[in-house]
């Protein structure tokens, strides 16, 4: 089993972009999700206000993986 983490802005546009990115990644890697977790947080940029973000972690199995 492997894991991939995605982080994106917590607004409508950011969520749509993350959806597209995750869908493209899943199709390209031919993954079968086993478990998905989502959390929210804040990301601080140098001297700027905190920005809300969403973090999605996908545990998966892939057709591209070799058996160990």
Sign of CA dihedral 57, 63, 65, 67: positive
Query: Tokens 């607004």 correspond to what residue?
Result: 11
7 in helix, strand or coil? strand
Note the pLDDT of residue 33: 94
Report pLDDT digits (tens) over 2-27. Answer: 999 999 999 999 999 999 999 999 99
Report pLDDT digits (tens) over 34-45. Answer: 999 999 988 877
Query: Tokens 């972009």 correspond to what residue?
Result: 17
């Amino acid at each position: 089993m492997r894991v991939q983490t995605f982080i994106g802005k917590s607004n409508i546009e950011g969520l749509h972009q993350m959806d597209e990115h995750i869908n493209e990644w899943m199709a390209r890697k031919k993954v079968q999700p086993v478990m998905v977790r989502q959390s929210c947080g804040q990301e601080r940029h140098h001297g700027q206000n905190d920005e809300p973000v969403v973090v999605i972690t996908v545990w998966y199995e892939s057709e591209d993986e070799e058996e160990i």
